[in-house]
A and B are shown apart, each in its own frame.
Chain A
Amino acid sequence: MLALLLRDIRLATRAGGGFGLSLAFFLIVTVLVPFGVGPEGGTLARIAPGILWVGALLSCLLSLDRIFALDREDGSLDLLATAPIPLEGVVAVKALAHWLTTGLPLTLAAPVLGVLLNLPQTGFTWLTFSLFLGTPALSMIGAFGAALTVGLKRGGLLLSLLVLPLYIPTLIFGAEAAKRGAEGLASGTPLLMLAGITAGSIAILPFAAAAAIRVNLR
């Protein structure tokens, strides 16, 4: 399992792995927002937590189809399915690798981009913390979506259509926690709910995703 994790991280970070891509996308989305809504500091500060959450979510979406598609193409997914480790574990490890190469960098980059959006001083900790809690759920749900569409030739668009509705609760609680934090309110409840979604996703979705992969490999 550790070998698989290291292999996935290595594949993602090498050239052509698309490691920097989602970060660059996140940067561009954040830069585009002030052009769209105007450069007034007050407006930007108010929408900053939400924009950063939506941006992180979309950047995460960008790299989802890589989780299984490449392995399916070169046949290593079949090998992994017949390997002595359970397929559920493979899915969980791959989601973890996706989080380490996408969610974690996004979380670390978000405060820097928050400066661009005039995020209030109090908001940085909460934004980072909510993203840190929420992005694992994004990776796990995304891995489930990728498992559903792994057999399709052009699954990318369909993948976003399937995954985006599933992202709604995570986004609501994550953005709410970040917003409340930025406004100096107590954000314990949404954070707890967010942690609950993440924990629940990690507990249940590997099984659903593994079932979908078995169907797709049939």
Chain B
Amino acid sequence: MSIWEYANPKKFMQTSSWALPWVTGLAVVALLTGLVWGFFFTPDDFRQGSTVKIIYIHVPSAMMAINAWAMMLVTSLVWLIRRHHVSVLAAKAAAPIGMTMTLIALFTGAIWGQPMWGTWWAWDPRLTSFLILFLFYLGYIALWEAVDDPDTAADLTSVLCLVGSVFALLSRYAVLFWNQGLHQGASLSLDKEEHVSDVFARPLWLTMAGFVLLFVALVLLRTRTEIRARRLRALEARERMA
């Protein structure tokens, strides 16, 4: 039993059809509990008022925006090294989700920033890196759409993902160098003294878990769709041959 068994589309479909309802259910439960807890059963912050509660969407979506790219990087590498189709289809499936997460993080940040910083947008390093990340997602998806042959597209987008990762990291540090920040530091960390108060942190952990599960559920669903679409295309091709 190894992870490579799931490279077999059939095995993947079997396992994911069993896992998908569970993951989806857990995601719904975690998100509902976390959000209701966070929105209605935590006190207002003494300086930020109720706007603090946007943290329950902003922080998890920002986390997933980065992790989605990291996942795409790993699955692209797996495709380039071991040529497992499921792997690259998962990367393809994850890209629009990651892009949406980036957009959610940017928008919730803007909504929070307007009353708090007095501006919708500032050229702060964190904000700017997210905008750049959004552009990378855009390019990746556009390249998938532009190339007709699925294997060529998979190869090219994987190479782009690898090179893009290097340049995205580089941009992150370049942007830090370029401008001073307005954004606060890390909200959660295990070893630092100063972070979000436990009252807010507990529901936040829950929504973060919810976002991870939601992401997994969406990736599974979209990968299954991609596999089915491929099967359909293969069947159609066989029909035309016959």
Contacts and interface: CB of A to CB of B under 8 A. Distances in A.
Which of A161, A189, A208, A218 has the most CB atoms of chain B within a 10 A radius of its CB? Answer: A161
6 contacts: A158-B142, A162-B139, A164-B135, A169-B170, A204-B166, A208-B162
Interface in B138-153: 138-139, 142-143, 146-147, 152
A212 B80 CA distance: 12
A164 B138 CA distance: 11
A38 interface: no
B131 to A, nearest CB: 10
A165 B167 contact: yes
B177 A190 contact: yes
A193 B177 contact: yes
B152 A168 contact: no
B167 A166 contact: yes
A172 B170 CA distance: 11
Nearest to A211: B159
A162 B143 contact: yes
Nearest to B166: A204
Given A205-B163, A208-B159, A172 B146 contact: no
Interface of B: 132, 135-136, 138-139, 142-143, 146-147, 152, 155-156, 159-160, 162-164, 166-168, 170-171, 174-175, 177-178
A172 B139 contact: no
Interface residues of A, number: 29
Nearest to B156: A148
A43 interface: no
B156 A212 contact: yes
Contacts of B164: 165-166
B163 A215 contact: no
Contacts of A173: 174, 177
Contacts of A166: 163-164, 167
B174 A172 contact: yes
Interface of A: 144, 148-149, 151-152, 155, 158, 161-162, 164-166, 168-169, 172-173, 176, 189-190, 193, 197, 204-205, 208, 211-212, 215-216, 218
A168 B147 contact: no
B154 to A, nearest CB: 9
Nearest to A160: B139
B138 A161 contact: yes
B178 A172 contact: yes
Given A176-B177, A176-B178, A190-B177, A151 B152 contact: yes
Nearest to A164: B135
Contact of B160 (A162, A164, A169, A190): A162
B155 A215 contact: yes
Contacts of B136: 165
B146 A152 contact: yes
Given A161-B138, A162-B139, A215-B155, A152 B147 contact: yes
Given A148-B160, A165-B132, A197-B170, 17 more contacts: A148-B159, A162-B143, A165-B139, A166-B167, A169-B170, A169-B174, A172-B174, A172-B178, A173-B177, A176-B177, A176-B178, A190-B177, A204-B163, A208-B162, A208-B163, A211-B159, A216-B156
